[in-house]
Amino acid sequence: MLHIGFHTDAFNSSYWNFEQCLQWAQKNDLHFIECGAIDGVSWIHGLGYQPHVALWEDPLLLRRKMDRYGVQMSQIDAAFPMSLPQGATLGVEYVLHTLRWAKLIGCPRVDTTDDRFKPEGLAEREALDLMRRSYRQILEAAEAYEITINIEPHGYFTTKPDFMAEMLAFSDSPFLRLNMDTGNTFIAGQDPVAFLRRFQDKVSHVHIKDVSESLAAAARGDLTGIAVSHCAIGEGVNADNIRQCVDILVEVGFDGVLSIECEGAGGPMIEKSLAWVRELVNEANACGALQSIESQKDQFDHLEQ
């Protein structure tokens, strides 16, 4: 079954705090939220102008607050660029700190990625070997905590399918998975549908982003990712790809969260996006339920024969 959530990045420009995002989720009958991890504190977060969480906050107390709103975390974002040389030091520690915090708040996934550019001074093979060592170190802890480490297509390596395939094979651990992103794969010049089809058995979490016609014309193939959709989802040039991706997810029996990443603009744009995604998901879930019934009927008929 497909579920809908959203990333609090939607409200960066509105300077909301995390609790305002919880209130928005409750108002719009959403029960899954995704946010970034701040390893420490900052003045803008402390003053209530940032919609992410600080790892210095108490996760158990925050979990109680989230329970009161009927919201749980689908994923926490620890996307320090692991392809940089600092990925082996700052990146690994950042992910490990986030992973421990995620366990206490009951979040089952931590998101990771690479940098937009090939790291200066490193050959591709050197950077991949560096990331392999880092991910294996992270996965040792992830297996102990039973937290999935997702790799998101967002940078130089991860938006190229062959490199992504190699990264997802860094380990045979079931806790190394893919966070599919419809917008990043598209803006990087890939076909999101083909990208998802190749890795359909590795998907653990999904980001839903559309792309405006003007942005696609200006930057497709030059960028490797966008933070959020800057048009309402369903109104951009990526809408049909999103529909096809949802069809694939239903086909493979994906049971997880589609996390909306859309500019909130204080509410209206993301609410319009939510209405479009909700209609799409309702139809997909109904189709999936029908397919399940038909499959069970076929199995029953086969047994009778």
What contacts 83, CB < 8 A, 6 or more positions away?
114, 115, 118, 119, 127, 130, 131, 155, 156, 157
What pLDDT digit, counting tens, does each position of 16-40 carry? 999 999 999 999 999 999 999 999 9
Mean residue pLDDT of the chain comes to 95
Cβ partners under 8 Å of residue 203, min gap 6: 177, 178, 179, 180, 196, 249, 252, 254, 256
pLDDT at 79 over 80: yes
Which residues on adjacent β-strands are paired with residue 207? 181, 259
Over residues 81-128, the pLDDT tens digits come to 999 999 999 999 999 999 999 999 999 999 999 999 999 999 999 999
Alpha-carbon gap, residue 89 to 201, rounded angstroms: 30
Picking from 40-44, 115-119, 274-278, 289-293, which range would have the lowest pLDDT averaged per residue?
Answer: 289-293
| Distance (Å, whole) CA 278 – CA 274 | 6
Residue 267 pLDDT:
82
Rounded mean pLDDT of 203-216? 98
Q: Please give the average per-residue pLDDT across 219-237, as a whole number.
A: 97
Nearest to 22 by CA among 3, 35, 37: 35
Question: What pLDDT shows up at residue 288?
Answer: 82
Here the tokens at position 170 are 């860094």
Q: pLDDT by residue (tens digit) across 52-78?
A: 999 999 999 999 999 999 999 999 999
Q: What does pTM read for this prediction?
A: 0.94
CA-CA distance, 58 to 68, in Å (whole number)? 16
The pLDDT assigned to 249 comes to: 98
Question: Whole-angstrom Cα distance, residue 168 to residue 146?
Answer: 17
Tokens at 208, concatenated: 């839903």
Amino acid letter, 250: V
The maximal CA–CA distance of the chain, rounded, in angstroms, is: 70
Residue 266 confidence (pLDDT): 81
Tell me, what amino acid is at 91? G
Q: Is the pLDDT of residue 5 over 70?
A: yes
Q: pLDDT confidence of 163, banded at 50, 70, 90?
A: very high
Do residues 183 and 139 make contact, with C-beta atoms less than 8 angstroms apart?
Answer: no
CATH superfamily of 2-304: Divalent-metal-dependent TIM barrel enzymes (3.20.20.150)
* 282-302: average pLDDT: 73
**CA torsion through residues 248, 251, 257, 260, sign:** positive
Tell me if 79 sits within 8 A of 39, measured CB to CB: no
**Angle between helix 90-105 and helix 124-145 axes, rounded to 10 deg:** 20
Beta bridge partners of 38: 54
pLDDT band with cut points at 50, 70 and 90 for residue 141: very high
pLDDT of 297 > 90? The answer is no
Question: Would the CA dihedral through 281, 283, 289, 292 be positive or negative?
Answer: negative
Residue 199: the pLDDT is: 98
- Measured from the Cβ of residue 303, the count of other Cβ atoms closer than 10 Å reads 7
CB-based contact 153:192 (threshold 8 Å): no
The rounded distance, in Å, linking the Cα atoms of 293 and 201 is 22
Name residue, tokens 């603009």. 265
- Asked if residue 134 lies in contact with residue 89, where contact means CB atoms within 8 angstroms, the answer is no
In this predicted structure, what is the pLDDT of residue 304?
62
Q: Residue range 277-285: average pLDDT?
A: 97
Question: For residues 95 and 108, what is the distance between their CA atoms, to the nearest angstrom?
Answer: 14
Query: Quick check: 298 pLDDT over 80?
Result: no
pLDDT value at position 300?
Answer: 59
Q: Is the pLDDT of residue 264 over 70?
A: yes
Q: Where are the domains of the chain?
A: 2-304
How far apart are alpha carbons 55 and 300 in whole angstroms?
A: 51
- Summarize pLDDT for 43-54 with one digit per residue, the tens: 999 999 999 999
Q: How confident is the model at residue 305, as a pLDDT?
A: 61
In this structure, the strands spanning 176-181 and 148-151 are parallel
Distance CA 266, CA 176 (A): 35
Neighbours of 190 (CB within 10 A): 19
